[in-house]
């Protein structure tokens, strides 16, 4: 797996409140009974723990502009990191409009996706340990998880995590918390975060090519064990009968079949398919994107994934 220090950006989750409540959200927004707003001291400690980090520093929710101290949070980001390093991830809305100038002054990268049209998300809560009994296959898929390769580690109020989705599981399912927010926690390589991989990846379906579904769906696909965990967590979506149980067995042959199906939407569209979804490209982001493409090509060659290799070359984009 990619070392944490090789990620293009580390997210700081300042809140998990969001009015959109999309299905299959990686923050599991529809499943949280009581959203939280991080304390200023927490946000400052998170920023301090990234001292020396030269890549992106994300401001993420939920919807970050909903945080009642959003103006002060912007000042904190400016105190600790130059604009070109700071990125915000927003779904827009009246508060985004209100703070637009401040956002433009603070963040060099603005990832804006207002979900005005449905976008497609992959379910995250079909636990691989429940549907894949072949341990070798499960571990292979996890070690090759596209989201871990392309997306971000995260700091949530429970601590520091090698993957944003792992942070979500820990918070939702009352896990033991992440690594301490101490300077340099992000210098870990795979062997140093294997405890988190072991704890959270088995609960997750991101590396399984189950396909992507409209985020407007009023339900979530979950495995039986995760359905129980969600009921225990008093998920509002579970309480509204919004869980669809997925318990089909997935084998190596099935994985091949799913990947070759014309209905399969490659997760490479992540952040790129929807016209309302854009990056304002700073030189930093362009550089990171180029590095990610190089990383992807090397990965495809190493794993013999010729399909992925040619697709990456052809599209110049990520798998």
Residues within the interface to ligand SF4 (CB under 6 A): 18, 20-22, 25, 27, 29, 61-63, 91, 115, 142, 145, 147-148, 163, 165-166, 200-201, 204, 206-207
Q: Considering the complex, state which of residue 83 and residue 140 has its C-beta at the smaller distance from ligand SF4.
A: 140
CB of 275 to ligand SF4, least distance (A): 16
CB of 204 to ligand SF4, least distance (A): 3
Q: Give the Cα-Cα-Cα angle 225, 227, 230 (nearest 5 degrees).
A: 115
Q: Quick one: DSSP state of residue 117? A: S
* Separation between Cα atoms, residue 228 and residue 239, nearest integer Å: 12
Q: Considering the complex, state which of residue 92 and residue 224 has its C-beta at the smaller distance from ligand SF4.
A: 92
**Cα-to-chain-centroid distance, residue 143:** 16
Q: Considering the complex, state which of residue 49 and residue 65 has its C-beta at the smaller distance from ligand SF4.
A: 65
Sequence length of the chain is 319
3-state secondary structure (DSSP) of residue 251: coil
Element (H, E) at 26: none
CB of 117 to ligand SF4, least distance (A): 13
3-state secondary structure (DSSP) of residue 125: strand
Q: Considering the complex, state which of residue 154 and residue 316 has its C-beta at the smaller distance from ligand SF4.
A: 154
3-state secondary structure (DSSP) of residue 57: strand
CB of 79 to ligand SF4, least distance (A): 26
CB of 203 to ligand SF4, least distance (A): 7
Q: Considering the complex, state which of residue 21 and residue 269 has its C-beta at the smaller distance from ligand SF4.
A: 21
Q: Considering the complex, state which of residue 36 and residue 80 has its C-beta at the smaller distance from ligand SF4.
A: 36
- 154-156/159-161 β-pairing: antiparallel
Q: Give the Cα-Cα-Cα angle 218, 223, 228 (nearest 5 degrees).
A: 90
Cβ 62 vs Cβ 36: under 8 Å: no
Tokens of 51: 């001292």
Q: Considering the complex, state which of residue 80 and residue 120 has its C-beta at the smaller distance from ligand SF4.
A: 120
CB of 173 to ligand SF4, least distance (A): 12
CB of 161 to ligand SF4, least distance (A): 9
| Nearest alpha carbon to residue 70 among 84, 55, 85, 90 | 90
């Amino acid at each position: 797996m990619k070392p944490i220090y090789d990620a293009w950006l580390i997210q700081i989750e300042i809140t998990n409140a969001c009015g959109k409540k999309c299905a299959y959200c990686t923050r599991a927004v529809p499943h949280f009974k009581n959203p939280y707003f991080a304390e200023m001291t927490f946000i400052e400690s998170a920023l301090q723990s990234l001292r020396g980090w030269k890549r992106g520093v994300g401001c993420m929710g939920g919807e970050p502009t909903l945080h009642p101290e959003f103006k002060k949070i912007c000042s904190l980001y400016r105190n600790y990191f130059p604009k070109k390093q700071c990125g915000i991830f927003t779904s827009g809305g009246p508060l985004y409009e209100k703070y637009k100038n401040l956002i433009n002054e603070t963040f060099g990268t603005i990832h804006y996706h207002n979900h005005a049209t449905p976008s497609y998300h992959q379910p995250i809560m079909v636990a691989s340990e429940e549907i894949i009994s072949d341990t070798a296959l499960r571990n292979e898929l996890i070690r090759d998880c596209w989201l871990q390769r392309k997306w971000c580690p995260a700091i949530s109020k429970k601590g520091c995590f090698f993957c944003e989705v792992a942070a979500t599981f820990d918070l939702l399912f009352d896990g033991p918390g992440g690594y301490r927010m101490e300077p340099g926690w992000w210098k870990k390589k795979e062997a140093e975060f294997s405890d988190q991989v072991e704890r959270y990846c088995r609960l997750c379906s991101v590396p399984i090519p189950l396909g992507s579904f409209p985020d407007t769906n009023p339900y979530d696909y979950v495995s039986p064990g995760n359905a129980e965990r969600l009921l225990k967590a008093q998920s509002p979506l579970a309480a509204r009968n919004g869980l669809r149980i997925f318990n089909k067995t997935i084998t190596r042959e099935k994985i091949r079949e799913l990947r070759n199906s014309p209905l399969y939407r490659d997760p490479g569209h992540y952040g790129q398919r929807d016209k309302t979804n854009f990056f304002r490209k700073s030189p930093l982001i362009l550089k990171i994107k180029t590095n990610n493409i190089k990383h992807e090509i090397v990965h495809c060659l190493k794993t013999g994934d010729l399909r992925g290799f040619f697709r990456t070359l052809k599209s110049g984009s990520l798998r």
